[in-house]
Structure 1
Amino acid sequence: MLFKFKEEGIRVELAYGILDISEDLYHGYKPEHLLVSSIAGSSAQEFTDLLELHHTHVDDFFIRSEVKKSEKDNGRITQIKLHFVVKGRNLNIDKLYRLLESARDKCAIINSVEDSIDIVETLEIVSLN
């Protein structure tokens, strides 16, 4: 990847398109948002792959995130909470917890940061009738 500096921030051209990075929300994505998005996106992809592998159908799921920062350590991110909300019919909560735990173990991004950032994952099931 080649990162080019510009007045408003940094630009990188990727296969999918251009990504602008800036602390100013009007000129790009904040680095903090990209970090959380990478962690949530990678975890979600692993979880989705495991759901498919284990023939577990869900109608929908989404993730809510919450970030905690250190007041003493230059605003360093100390914790990221990922709350998975899974919607479906006849879902086995124990199986979903096991799959989420396995997804975490397989998630390269979480494995890369978990020694410096506390990653907390929770699960909520919404039963559809």
Structure 2
Amino acid sequence: MQIQSGSELYVLGWYQDGEYISDNFRATAQKRKTMEADFHVVPYGNIKLNIYNVNCGGAGDEFILEVIPPFPYSAIVSPVSRYGCYNQEGQPVEVIMGNYEIKWTVNRGGTTEVFSDNLFVPENGVGEMTINY
């Protein structure tokens, strides 16, 4: 099933039995008298993360990034680790609109620091964050 608005197609995601189904957006029909499955039409935007190691201690520096999408789509994206004097000017990546939790951990010189912040991705816009660590 798809919904079309003008020339744009929207992907449908299913929310069934209290959980978001992302496996190719398939909802399974269950054998019982009634079954409920809601679908959500979710607009998209872009997320852009700029990451800079402004206090590099050398090859042993570790930066770990987690991006947590809006509820109910809150499957945590696997943490990504980068080492050394890591710097990256982010490229926009298409994601569903909404409030994201951005978490990062910095391991440097035997010390671990954990940070988090929220980032809103607007419909058809760009949510951008710069992380200086």
TM-score range relative to shorter protein:
under 0.3
Normalising by structure 1, what TM-score? 0.28
| Greater gyration radius | 2
Normalising by structure 2, what TM-score? 0.27
If each structure's helix is expressed as a fraction of its own residues, which one has the higher value? 1
If each structure's strand is expressed as a fraction of its own residues, which one has the higher value? 2
